[in-house]
Amino acid sequence: MNLLYGIGFAAALLIALLMTPLVKRFAFWVGAVDAPNHRKVHSRIMPRLGGLAIFIAFVGAFFIVSPAMDTLKMDVVFGLLVGGTIIVLIGALDDRFDLSPKIKLLGQILAACVVVYSGVVIDLVNVPFGDGVVSLTWLAVPLTIFWIVGVTNAINLIDGLDGLSAGVSGIATTTILVLALMMGNTTVVLLCIVLLGSIAGFLFYNFHPAKIFMGDSGALFLGFCLATLSVLGFKQATVVSLLVPIMILGVPLSDTFFAIMRRWVNNLPISAADKNHLHHCLLGMGFSHRTTVLIIYAVAAVFGCCAVLLSYISEQQALWGAIILIAVLLLVLVLGAEAIGIISKTKKPVLHFINKVRVKTAQLSTRSRMSK
């Protein structure tokens, strides 16, 4: 089995390495290019459609290895492949013709419905910090569709720097892979292996300075895969906390959440584009392009490690350990967000409160020394 996994990874890596230059030429030929503007950080015309190379490598490697494995759940795999094909087509058309948001959303919902029809549904929710399992009944289908569409777009939102979306997706895929290995889910393991190989092969051309962008065809496909794999990996786990898949995707989901909060605080429409995402803020602090990407990789890796740790703690039923881990992570997340000004450059309530407490403590300490 380990040999098959190795073959799957190597095949996906090799196909992506071979296909990406061809896709680059194809993108220029059809005019699927990204021109620089005031919101972009690149300064020259770049080819898009890199997602086609990732998708071809993913599908090709899977069909190379899967005939030798008889434990795969082919119904859900079929749903992922068909839904992924719809996503890639919508993304590729958008890379070339700039589709309207409504058409893109309809395509994402259609792809999510295909996955749900194949049996991938969040039908049970594990109550955090306990053994209780709540059946979602009629909420299962809309919640699953919402999760898939939400994660799909969250990955797309962070696709703003060379190698950023691909690298963060690779780290999230690795986290799901580790947890799937712990749970013995061979279907998720194989899908993660070939997806990781596809990402690694493409990242060779996409890391700064990038030779090609993945475009919506890639960002939407990776988000769709991660959303589906997270459901596949944890929908049948009876003791894994509901927060684990959310933590795995901590970087894109938190960046999306902060973007919504930022626009709400500034009285802007939620759909309004801006240049204040996590990577923009780090660049504004003086970090280089490559350093910014590596910092976000590190943050994604921390989220991944916390997800694995939370899964282990949940299985051990260590209630307080899970509470402390989540509380510390949330505090660090809020402090970090306020420090870099991702929500607002002036409104930083938690940091201001901490600063007031620090000043008050210093004053009390000074008075105490003077009284002696």
End-to-end alpha carbon distance in the chain: 73
| Cα Dmax for the chain | 82
Give which of 242, 233, 230, 229 is closest to 131, Cα–Cα.
242
The HSE-up count of residue 267 (CA atoms within 13 Å, CB side) is: 0
What count of residues does the chain have?
A: 372
Distance between CA atoms of residues 319 and 316, nearest Å: 9
What are the two backbone dihedrals, phi and then psi, of residue 98, each rounded to the nearest 5 degrees? 55, 70
Which tokens sit at 149?
Answer: 């569409």
Report the relative pairing of strands 124-126 and 33-34 from DSSP bridges: unpaired
Concatenated DSSP letters of 142-195: HHHHHHHHHHHHHHHHTTTSTTHHHHHHHHHHHHHHHHHHHHT-HHHHHHHHHH
Residue 54 tokens read as: 């990732």
Residue 216 in marked binding region? yes
Number of other residues whose CB lies within 10 A of the CB of residue 68: 11
What angle is formed at CA 277 by the lines to CA 44 and CA 159, rounded to 5 degrees?
50
Q: Which of 254, 252, 253, 271 is nearest to 263 (CA)?
A: 271
Burial class (CB in 10 A: 0-12, 13-18, 19+), 37: exposed
Q: Torsion angle, CA of 248/254/260/262, rounded to 10 degrees?
A: -170
Place of tokens 């749903």: 79
State how far the Cα of 340 lies from the Cα of 241, in Å rounded to an integer: 30
User: CA 24 to CA 261: how far, in whole Å?
Assistant: 37
Q: Which residues are annotated as a binding site?
A: 156, 216
Q: Which residues are annotated as a binding site for Mg(2+)?
A: 156, 216
